[in-house]
Structure 1
Amino acid sequence: MIKQFNNPKFYNQTIPNEITIPHVPVGAIIKGAAKYYGERVAFLFRQKELTYKELYNQALRLANGLKEMGIGKGDVVAIQMLNCTQYAVSYYGVVLAGATYTPVNPLLPKDEFLFQLQDSGAKVLITYEQLATLWEDVMQHAKIKKVIVTGDVEVASLEQCLDTTSYGEDVVSFNRFINDHEAREFTVDIDVLEDVVHIAYTGGTTGKPKGVMITHKNLISNILQSAAWSSAALAQVDDDGALTVNIVEPDTNEYLKHYPTLPGTNVRLSPAPMYHGAGTMGGLAYGVLLGATSILFDRFIPEEFLADLERYKITELSGAPAMFNFLLMHPNIEKHDFSSVRTINSGAAPIAMETMKLLIKHFPNAVVTEGYGLTEATASAVQSVGFYGGERKLGTVGLPIYNTKVKLMSVDEQGKEITEAGQRGEVCIKGPQVMKGYFNNPEVTAETLIDGWLHTGDIGIFDENGFLSIVDRKKDMLIYNGYNVYPRQIEEHLYEHPAVAAAIVVGIQDPNVGEKPKAFVVLKQGVSTTEEAIMHFVNEKVVHYSRIRELEFIDQLPMTAAGKISKIQLIEKEKTRLNQV
């Protein structure tokens, strides 16, 4: 689809059609933030402030400690924590050491946690003391050389160190590790085009999760694409290697007539965990590049969240549709003043048009945007227009961002591109943010990356102006509360139950969470059990957002004429049932 760069309602006319992406490593982000926003609060957690200078200083100390251990380029460090300031320090410490970061969902079941450590070859684990029962059990089966563990006691100050004597000599307190090393800058020979900075695991529709390899160039490209798109800001690299961005309109008053906030003034609030792509890219990378202050919390409580929006005069609110539904339906929403909010970003799942309308109503000063991306494209490929006066079409995810091409390919005729507006096709993406490939998985990489194009498996439609709508998703994937849920993984656990003869899992529409996993089960002849017993059996083995929410016994699974199980029949049956309620 050809971009209409000459349309001032679609694209900022002061930004070149193709922006320049400098060849710098990801560590340049925090170096630039410390240089230009040093005294500004980067993260606030439990009333403890961490400035950009302090973040850089502590990250350098951690990086030097990793270097002293022999951890650097080519080595993988796993971070297993909920949101906290130590997470931000850990992330940039790993990056500055030249190592590769792999985020671990702290709620993963033990076997999935071990698989990620083994598959990635992680040598160091940075974690939290509350998770000790989980990581202690898997250490003997992984290749972990050192565990760096933090806890609540270490949040208040660096001087307070967790007592790790009971864990053994290979476990050290996070703060002690920081305090034992200097904040000394050093250079790592990074090949930004080839060297991997992230291995982010995404669930697989068949078999085990896949590690998505994101290079330094991928990540730098994507945050600069977003900065140009959402803030009309272009890259500046100093002689010392520090990366920052400058707005293209030098008159700030004139700039603020068109864009919601200046870099270095934004105050962000988002429930996205840092181990999730939205948290890593939105808070740790993009937010730091633009000098934002991010308010962190480790539990999403709607009433407290609404209060924090007002208390901290939040200017940017980001989240998934399920979160917005919770907030908008809260009985006290009318009692709060949200006039400070200038930007609302919705992602991770399609948002209903009615929800968008309610956001516009309750946040009258905000530009409300939606976007589309995936882990394999680092984060973002398509976004709503972000400037005042720009055209935002409800029901679409926006336009391709700078340096990004998007096309639709026929799902019926191999190799045929869909060029007519309104016709469905598989969304394919090409740009500098597209992943290097899947870690240790060349076969699936070859199936997904074809001639530089990322074949997403998502089905989309372009309108006559090039606005993209996502109308269907990957064959089996469903989205619960903004998280990708892969039914195949749940089905495998269902088949482990001794009473189950056949099973299938589908996504059932739910206005509060998006889609919830429902299982249809055929029992073995002569065997009896309960729905609750099977749900309990499976739900103990999967991460919290992949738990079965409903289960129904049926006599047989519906089949297609070709002899394949027909999920669509079950989905249509559920739609009919819900419409009758």
Structure 2
Amino acid sequence: MIKQFNNPKFYNQTIPNEIDIPHVPVGAIIKGAAKYFGNRVAFLYRKKELTYKELYNQALRVANGLKEIGIGKGDVVAIQMLNCTQYAISYYGIVLSGATYTPINPLLPKDEFLFQLQDSGAKVLITYEQLVNVWEGVMEHSKIEKIIVTGDVEISSLEQCVDTTSYGDGVVSFNQFINNNEAREFTIDVDVVEDVVHIAYTGGTTGKPKGVMITHKNLVSNVLQSGAWSSAALPQLDDDGALTVKVVEKEVDKYLQHYPTLPGTNIRLSPAPMYHGAGTMGGLAYGVLFGATSIIFDRFIPEEFLADLERYKVTELSGAPAMFNFLLMHPNIAKHDFSSVRTINSGAAPIAMETMKLLIKYFPNAVVTEGYGLTESTASAVQSVGFYDGLRTLGTVGLPIYNTEVKLMSVDEAGKEVTEVGQRGEVCIKGPQVMKGYLNNPEVTAETLINGWLHTGDIGIFDENGFLSIVDRKKDMLIYNGYNVYPRQIEEHLYEHPAVAAAIVVGIQDVNVGEKPKAFVVLRQGVSATEEEIMSFVNDKVVHYSRIRELEFIDQLPMTAAGKISKIQLVEREKTRLNQV
């Protein structure tokens, strides 16, 4: 694709075609935020404020505590928590220590939880006391040497500590761990190109989840690429190694004529879990780099969410299409004042054009953008144009962000690039944000990273302006509520049931959630079972978003001429059925 950098509707003409990415570790982000936005509230949780200066100091205490117990460069620390301020503190404590962070979905079943600990080789687990049924006894089955436990009692004060006396040796409360250490800066010899800062797990289509290795360079590059793209802000690194951003337009009024908010003024609201890529990159990396105030809440309740948007005068709203659908369908949405909202970012799954139109209607002052990326590209690769008078085309996810190339490769002819407008091809990405590879999986890494290009498995088309649309997926995956769901994993559990002879899982389109997993099951001859029985059997073994939502018994699975099970026939049948309802 030819980039039209000279087109003022596509690219900000004051930004160079390629931005300079400083070679710094991720810890430079929190150091910069503390220096330039120190007294600004970084996170608000349960009415408790945490400023950037407090975040940095407490993260340094965590980093020194990890150093004290022998954890540093090359070691892995896992976080198993829902959103809370302790999560943010822990994340930056790990980063500042030089260790590697791996997020664990706190709702994972115990066997999947243990697999991630074992595969990553994590030595420390930072968790929540309410999850004790999952993490208790974990030291016997992994390399975990220390468990740091927090809880509700520790939210309001550093002086209150979780009682860990009943948990045995090696378990300490989060606040006790912080209080035992100083907020002292120390230097880590980080190779930003090679050293891994994140191991984020993505589901496997043919087996266990894969650990995506993200380096310091990957993460810093991606957050700065997105910042230049969405806010016309370029990186600024001082002599102390503190990283921040400065907008290219010096006149504030002139800048705000084109862009929604200035760094250090944003108020963010997003339901994305911090353990999810959108939460880590959006709230913990991008939000901190830009000095935003992020509002954290425990549960996504649409009425409360809408009220908070108005109450806190939120300027930036981020989420998946399923969340926006819930909000837009709420009967009281028209009663709220959303005039403060300046930016709406949709990601994780394609958004329907009707949903986009409603967002524009109810949030008239906002730039509504969509983006595309995946765990293997750290987060973002393609985004809608972010300035007010830029061209945004409904149905597309936008253009490649700075320092990023995107091409389409034929799915029928190996090695052939697709160049015609509207012609389908596999989306391939090249840029400094592309992962180092998959942990402990060189074969799949070699299949996915070819000559520096990330082969995504997603199928896209370019329009006449070079705007990308995602139209299908080459790999066997569906997206439910913004989460990647891998049918193969569900099918394996279905086959474990003694009554199941054959089974297949497909994604059924649903305007509220994107795609919902539906299972088609052939029972063994002479054996009976109910739909509810089999669904419960499987759903007890998988994470909440991978649960089967519908199950149908059929006499036999449809086959292709080559003798393979044909999912497309079932998908098409379901589309016909839904159109007839």
Provide the C-alpha distance between the structure 1 equivalents of 2:24 and 2:473, rounded to a whole number of angstroms: 34
5 Å-filtered alignment, 1:21-420, equals 21-420=21-420
Divergent runs of 4+, >3 A? none
Q: Which amino acid aligns with 1:232?
A: A
Q: What stretches of structure 2 of length at least 5 have no aligned partner?
A: none
Q: Which amino acid aligns with 1:250?
A: K
Q: Which amino acid aligns with 1:561?
A: A
Provide the C-alpha distance between the structure 1 equivalents of 2:354 and 2:139, rounded to a whole number of angstroms: 48
Q: Which amino acid aligns with 2:133?
A: T
Provide the C-alpha distance between the structure 2 equivalents of 1:142 and 1:149, rounded to a whole number of angstroms: 17
Q: SS in structure 2 opposite 1:209?
A: strand
Give % identity: 88
Over the aligned positions, Cα root-mean-square deviation in angstroms equals 0.5
Q: What stretches of structure 1 of length at least 5 have no aligned partner?
A: none
Partner of 1:8: 8
Offset of 1:140 from its aligned partner? 1.4
Q: SS in structure 1 opposite 2:43?
A: strand
Partner deviation per Cα, 1:3-41 (whole Å, 9 max, x = no partner):
100000000000000000000000000000000000000
Offset of 1:298 from its aligned partner? 1.6
Offset of 1:475 from its aligned partner? 2.4
Provide the C-alpha distance between the structure 1 equivalents of 2:139 and 2:478, rounded to a whole number of angstroms: 32
Partner of 1:557: 557
Q: Given the two structures, how large is their TM-score scaled by the length of structure 2?
A: 1.00
Partner of 1:509: 509
Question: Are 2:443 and 1:443 equivalent residues in the alignment?
Answer: yes
Residues 472 and 232 (structure 1), Cα distance of their counterparts in 2 relative to 1, 3 Å cut: same
Q: SS in structure 2 opposite 1:214?
A: strand
Provide the C-alpha distance between the structure 2 equivalents of 1:475 and 1:371, rounded to a whole number of angstroms: 20
Partner of 1:430: 430
Provide the C-alpha distance between the structure 1 equivalents of 2:385 and 2:224, rounded to a whole number of angstroms: 16
Provide the C-alpha distance between the structure 1 equivalents of 2:224 and 2:420, rounded to a whole number of angstroms: 31
Provide the C-alpha distance between the structure 2 equivalents of 1:363 and 1:139, rounded to a whole number of angstroms: 49
Contact 2:12 2:232 in 1 (8 A): yes
Offset of 1:474 from its aligned partner? 3.7
Provide the C-alpha distance between the structure 2 equivalents of 1:213 and 1:250, rounded to a whole number of angstroms: 38
Q: Given the two structures, how large is their TM-score scaled by the length of structure 1?
A: 1.00
Offset of 1:64 from its aligned partner? 0.1
Provide the C-alpha distance between the structure 2 equivalents of 1:399 and 1:535, rounded to a whole number of angstroms: 41
Provide the C-alpha distance between the structure 2 equivalents of 1:542 and 1:396, rounded to a whole number of angstroms: 33
Partner deviation per Cα, 1:175-195 (whole Å, 9 max, x = no partner):
010000000000000000000
Contact 1:64 1:97 in 2 (8 A): yes
Q: Which amino acid aligns with 2:445?
A: T
Q: SS in structure 2 opposite 1:361?
A: helix
Offset of 1:89 from its aligned partner? 0.1
Q: Which amino acid aligns with 2:333?
A: I
Provide the C-alpha distance between the structure 2 equivalents of 1:65 and 1:139, rounded to a whole number of angstroms: 19
Provide the C-alpha distance between the structure 2 equivalents of 1:14 and 1:157, rounded to a whole number of angstroms: 46
Contact 1:78 1:117 in 2 (8 A): yes
Provide the C-alpha distance between the structure 2 equivalents of 1:159 and 1:231, rounded to a whole number of angstroms: 40
Provide the C-alpha distance between the structure 2 equivalents of 1:321 and 1:42, rounded to a whole number of angstroms: 26
Contact 2:138 2:144 in 1 (8 A): no
Provide the C-alpha distance between the structure 2 equivalents of 1:423 and 1:231, rounded to a whole number of angstroms: 32
Contact 1:83 1:273 in 2 (8 A): yes
Partner deviation per Cα, 1:469-528 (whole Å, 9 max, x = no partner):
000024210000000000000000000000000000000011110000000000000000
Partner deviation per Cα, 1:122-167 (whole Å, 9 max, x = no partner):
0000000000111004331011000000000000011111111111
Provide the C-alpha distance between the structure 2 equivalents of 1:476 and 1:189, rounded to a whole number of angstroms: 41
Provide the C-alpha distance between the structure 2 equivalents of 1:580 and 1:224, rounded to a whole number of angstroms: 48
Q: Which amino acid aligns with 1:149?
A: V
Provide the C-alpha distance between the structure 2 equivalents of 1:261 and 1:196, rounded to a whole number of angstroms: 32
Provide the C-alpha distance between the structure 2 equivalents of 1:260 and 1:386, rounded to a whole number of angstroms: 9
Provide the C-alpha distance between the structure 1 equivalents of 2:104 and 2:73, rounded to a whole number of angstroms: 20
Partner of 1:494: 494
Q: SS in structure 2 opposite 1:211?
A: strand
Provide the C-alpha distance between the structure 1 equivalents of 2:207 and 2:389, rounded to a whole number of angstroms: 47
Provide the C-alpha distance between the structure 2 equivalents of 1:168 and 1:457, rounded to a whole number of angstroms: 46
User: Which stretch shifts more, 46-55 or 128-137?
Assistant: 128-137
Partner of 1:484: 484
Provide the C-alpha distance between the structure 1 equivalents of 2:238 and 2:475, rounded to a whole number of angstroms: 46
Partner deviation per Cα, 1:441-469 (whole Å, 9 max, x = no partner):
00000000000000001000001110000
| Aligned pairs, number | 581
Q: SS in structure 2 opposite 1:9?
A: coil
Provide the C-alpha distance between the structure 2 equivalents of 1:276 and 1:473, rounded to a whole number of angstroms: 21
Contact 1:110 1:138 in 2 (8 A): no
Q: Which amino acid aligns with 1:545?
A: Y
Offset of 1:168 from its aligned partner? 1.1
Partner of 1:579: 579
Q: Which amino acid aligns with 1:492?
A: E
